[in-house]
């Protein structure tokens, strides 16, 4: 019998094929197939995104064998596409994410929504989901399935009538347009963030005023902003900024509204009674004054800050009688105004004698008010005619002050350069009667 010489070759070939097949099967078992997108699964076929804690979301899992750009979207029966993820770069590996029915914002036909919808629940219905991956060579693979949305709480958390009470404000504690109030009507329970957005993308939060409607609940809400000046912080630089509010409900839907705000003359006001290199900070014309005579003073006010400081009268040079005060002259306290002042130890009211921090040549008119501008100095003069005893002590300590009315008298602007002033008081039999004079009243506006 003649031997078949090809038989060993055939046997060897079959053995090689078996080995290669075994290796391929083993490789696939260990590493999966050669597809780009694999092991895709969606946990639930139906979800009910209504924040009740029962099947509100489904887990989506997939694996990439190589780096790829991934999109996950859903299409309704009319072919409208809604993106959950769009063109996101992903590295090779396994991924899983919870999907609660919220996709990129969209509007329904013939629907009017206040603001921009950033994220929104899909409406109830059955959708085709698609996971699409494209690798760096342009190879694209997709997998699809069905998902039903039911019982969705699809009402949007709208912020209606979003408005500012003024378009421009001047956060400098001058008592004029120092604050801005932001209002809106919230239609649904949601978490709301209100902030000023800087050019570099920094969000400066704005706080809500506590009112009868709790934060986050439906109703009208008011937010108050003073740019941090009340806490001594430097406000944003002068300019126009977006004021933004974003509402997010329990389902993850987000709505954004925006308006514009202009900041002008912003800054923390800083001024003091200037102390010269030599000589007195507060200069009097004398150290002793007789009844019916006038004690004159001179001081210098400096605005060393970066924002104007508002002032009010009476004007420098005004002479008080010692039994008058600034109210007698009609120049009542004005919140936010700065005034130079003279006080003494036994005064009946705090700093009864007050003057503007500069005259017409020193100040600048901004709107209806006058200001000492940043970097400016002004010499303030005035007088006090002694018509009676000057307090209980004699000599009497008399000092200067710089008052930011209804805001503060800083430590270094209080009781500045006190000096003992002697009042020459004759005996009762020789006490003079000072000639009456007209009160220099504030001009009527």
Q: Confidence band (pLDDT; 50, 70, 90) for 2?
A: very low
Instruction: Examine the pLDDT at 331 and tell me if it is beyond 70.
Output: yes
Query: What is the DSSP secondary-structure string of 328-394?
Result: TTT----TT-EEEEEEETT-SSSS-EEE-SS-TTT-EEETTEEEEPTT-EEEEEEEEE-SS--SSSS
More confident position, 412 or 22? 412
CATH topology for the 271-430 domain: Immunoglobulin-like (2.60.40)
Query: What is the DSSP secondary-structure string of 74-142?
Result: EE-TT--EEEEEEEEEE-SEEEEEEE-SEEE----TT---SSEEEEEEPPSEEEEEEEEEEETTS-EEE
Is the fold of 34-111+119-149 the same as that of 271-430?
Answer: yes
- Class for domain 34-111+119-149, per CATH? mainly beta
pTM of the prediction? 0.82
pLDDT per position as a tens digit, 122-180: 999 999 999 999 999 999 999 999 999 999 998 999 999 999 999 999 999 999 999 99
- Residue 388: the pLDDT is 85
Q: What is the 3-state secondary structure (H, E, C) of 272-322?
A: EECCCCCCCCCEECCCEEECCCEEEEEEEEEECCCCCEEECCCCCCCEEEC
- Residue 154: the pLDDT is 86
Whole-angstrom CA distances from 171 to 223, 230, 237, 242, 265 are 16, 9, 10, 16, 7
pLDDT per position as a tens digit, 206-236: 999 988 999 999 999 999 999 999 888 999 9
Q: Could you tell me what percent of the chain has a pLDDT over 70?
A: 92
Q: Confidence band (pLDDT; 50, 70, 90) for 393?
A: confident
Q: Could you say which of 3.40.50.1100, 2.60.40.2550, 1.10.1060.10, 3.40.50.10490 is the CATH number of the domain covering 159-263?
A: 2.60.40.2550
Average pLDDT over residues 47-75: 96
The encoded tokens of residue 253 equal 């839907």
| Domain range summary for the chain, segments of one domain joined by + | 34-111+119-149, 159-263, 271-430
């Amino acid at each position: 019998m003649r031997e078949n010489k090809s038989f060993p070759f055939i046997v060897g070939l079959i053995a090689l094929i078996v080995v290669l097949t075994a290796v391929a099967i083993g490789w696939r078992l260990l590493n999966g197939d050669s597809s780009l997108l694999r092991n895709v699964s969606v946990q639930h076929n139906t979800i009910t995104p209504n924040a009740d804690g029962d099947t509100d979301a489904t887990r989506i899992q997939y694996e990439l064998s190589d780096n790829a750009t991934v999109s996950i979207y859903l299409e309704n029966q009319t072919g409208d596409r809604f993106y959950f993820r769009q063109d996101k770069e992903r590295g090779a590996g396994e991924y899983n994410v919870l999907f609660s029915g919220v996709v990129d914002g969209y509007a329904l036909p013939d629907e009017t929504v206040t603001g921009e919808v950033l994220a929104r629940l899909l409406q109830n219905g059955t959708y085709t989901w698609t996971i699409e991956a494209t690798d760096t060579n342009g190879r694209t693979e997709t997998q699809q399935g069905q998902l039903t949305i039911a019982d969705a709480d699809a009402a949007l958390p709208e912020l209606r009538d979003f408005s500012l009470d003024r378009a421009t404000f001047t956060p400098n504690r001058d008592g004029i347009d120092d604050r801005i109030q932001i209002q809106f009507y919230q239609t649904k329970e949601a978490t709301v963030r209100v902030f000023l957005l800087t050019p570099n993308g920094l969000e400066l939060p704005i706080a809500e005023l506590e009112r009868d409607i709790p934060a986050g609940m439906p109703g009208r809400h008011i937010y108050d902003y003073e740019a941090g000046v009340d806490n001594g912080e430097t406000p944003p630089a002068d300019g126009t900024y977006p004021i933004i509010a974003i509402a997010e409900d329990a389902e993850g839907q987000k709505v954004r509204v925006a308006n514009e705000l202009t900041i002008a003359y912003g800054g923390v006001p800083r001024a003091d009674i200037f102390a010269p290199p030599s000589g007195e900070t507060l200069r009097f014309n004398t150290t002793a004054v007789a009844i019916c005579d006038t004690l004159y003073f001179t001081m210098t006010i400096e605005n060393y800050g970066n924002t104007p400081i508002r002032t009010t009268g009476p004007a420098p040079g005004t002479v008080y009688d010692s039994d008058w005060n600034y109210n007698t002259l009609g120049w009542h306290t004005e919140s936010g105004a700065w005034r130079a002042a003279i006080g003494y130890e036994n005064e009946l009211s705090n700093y009864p004698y007050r003057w503007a921090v500069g005259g017409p040549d020193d100040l600048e008119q901004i709107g209806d008010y006058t200001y000492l501008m940043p970097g400016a100095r002004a010499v303030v003069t005035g007088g006090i005619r002694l018509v009676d005893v000057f307090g209980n002590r004699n000599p009497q300590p008399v000092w200067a002050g710089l008052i930011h009315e209804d805001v503060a008298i800083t430590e270094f602007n209080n009781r500045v350069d006190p000096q003992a002033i002697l009042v020459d008081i004759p005996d009762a039999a020789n006490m003079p009667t000072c000639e009456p004079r007209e009160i220099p009243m504030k001009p009527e506006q």
